[in-house]
Amino acid sequence: MRISRGGRTLVDFSSNDALGLARHPRVIESSAAAAREYGAGATASRLVSGNHPLFAHLEARLAAHKETEAALVVGSGWLANAGTVPALIGDADLVVVDALAHASLMAGIGLSRAQVVVMRHNDVEDAARILEQRRASCGRCLVITESVFSMDGDRAPLEALASLCRTHDAWLLVDDAHGFLVSPMAAPLGRVADIVTGTLSKASGSYGGSVCGPAELIELLTSRARTLVYSTGLPPSAVAAALAAIDVALGETSFMSRPHCLAARFCRALSLAAPASHIVPLHLGDEARALELMTGLDDDGFLAVAIRPPTVPAGTSRVRLSFSAGHSDDDVDALAAAVKRRWRP
């Protein structure tokens, strides 16, 4: 996990390539072979002539992994979220969404014109209060959260939210962008959530997005999700790369758990609380302090980007670390030593 910048080589702790698969030889070769066979681009939307055969293989693989009936591959994780939400709900319906949900989910909610109530982050009691007060007066209801939150690395209380949704006749949509392939759960997401969206640009090292769920849902989205209908299909090379990456990851479960293990190693070295995922934020609050730490770690040979408003709320600036199977133990230990010199919790 090295990058070159300004003639220097840095160890990259900001990439979302959590399994290091973007440069895996098998993934690269699969991508190149698909480009040679099918061409560089899909050339049209999937509903016109851009639906090359690899799509069906990837959708079957995604549905099997999530344990859903079907899956639909779209152009990006943003397009998956921005297209799914308004295809399912409208102005007579209700959305209950976690306060820290991704901007793409908020974009989809805005397009739906549904009534929106923001619940406190990961607060099941607040979600229950909202549903008790608002659910009866609306048509359909969608509760939206994420499996792993991108800026804090914490996990949503999915089992509790799923139970709440069953009680109030609501759908649960979970964005699995940062959990896919690196966040083992007690049960596959398809057993917990009604709808699972995600991206192929993070742990699978490629590009694209997906929606997994009941076959009826996928059939509906095929003609109702405007971000699918009016977008050119993914290039064959990206689809083939994602397929190969999933095969590599699922072929060795210890490989999938390594990013979380390295995050735990880092947190132990700094006497921090055990991480919930492979993402660890170093909270500084002030933007200038976050930038100062980023610059200092850059001097030490690490890329660790400061995250500031509007990506995170004012007063919560942090340096966000993302650990990868591509990192060595020595990489993590060296980062921990550098952070210990420059930062105090």
Structural domain includes residue 94: yes
217 neighbors 143 (Cβ within 8 angstroms): no
Q: Does residue 12 sit in the same domain as residue 28?
A: no
Claim to verify: residue 186 and residue 303 sit in the same structural domain: no
Residues 10 and 49 grouped into a single domain: no
| Residue 43 located in a structural domain | yes
Residues 331 and 219 in one domain: no
Tell me, yes or no, whether 100 lies in a domain: yes
Residue 226 lies in a domain: yes
- The Cα–Cα gap between 69 and 217 comes to 10
pTM score, two decimals? 0.94
Nearest to 17 by CA among 180, 234, 156: 180
Residue 272 inside a domain? The answer is no
Q: What's the rounded Cα separation, in Å, for the pair 110 and 107? A: 5
Q: What residue type is 271 in one-letter code? A: S
Using CA atoms, how far apart are residues 192 and 171, in angstroms rounded to an integer?
A: 11
* Of 250, 265, 296, the domain-final residue: 250
Q: What is the CATH number of the domain that holds 117?
A: 3.40.640.10
Q: Is residue 270 part of a domain?
A: no
Burial of 298 per CB tally in 10 Å (0-12, 13-18, 19+): middle
Whether 307 and 282 map to the same domain: the answer is yes
Same domain, 179 and 84: yes
- 63 and 6 share one domain: no
Q: Is residue 235 part of a domain?
A: yes
Does 267 reside within a domain? no
Shared domain check, 153 and 119? yes
When computed from its CA atoms, the radius of gyration of the chain, rounded to whole angstroms, is: 20
pLDDT at 255 (0 to 100): 82
Last residue of a domain, one of 209, 230, 250: 250
Burial of 216 (0-12, 13-18, 19+ CB in 10 A): exposed
In the chain, how many domains are there?
A: 2
**Residues 156 and 301 reside in one and the same domain:** no
Q: Per-residue confidence of the chain (345 residues) as pLDDT tens digits?
A: 888 988 899 999 999 999 999 999 999 999 999 999 999 999 999 999 999 999 999 999 999 999 999 999 999 999 999 999 999 999 999 999 999 999 999 999 999 999 999 999 999 999 999 999 999 999 999 999 999 999 999 999 999 999 999 999 999 999 999 999 996 666 789 999 999 999 999 999 999 999 999 999 999 999 999 999 999 999 999 999 999 999 999 988 778 999 999 999 999 999 999 999 999 999 999 999 999 999 999 999 999 999 999 999 999 999 999 999 999 999 999 999 999 999 887
- Between CA 93 and CA 81 the distance in angstroms is 17
Among all residues, which ones are annotated catalytic? 16, 102, 146, 150, 175, 178, 202
Give yes or no: residues 51 and 112 share one domain.
yes
Give the pLDDT confidence score for residue 46 in this predicted structure.
96
Residues 212 and 337 in one domain: no
Q: What is the residue whose two structure tokens read 């408003």?
A: 309
Same domain, 63 and 142: yes
Domain boundary among 250, 270, 290: 250
Task: Give the residue numbers spanning the domain of 215.
Answer: 23-250
CATH no. for residue 290? 3.90.1150.10
Q: What is the pLDDT of residue 186?
A: 62
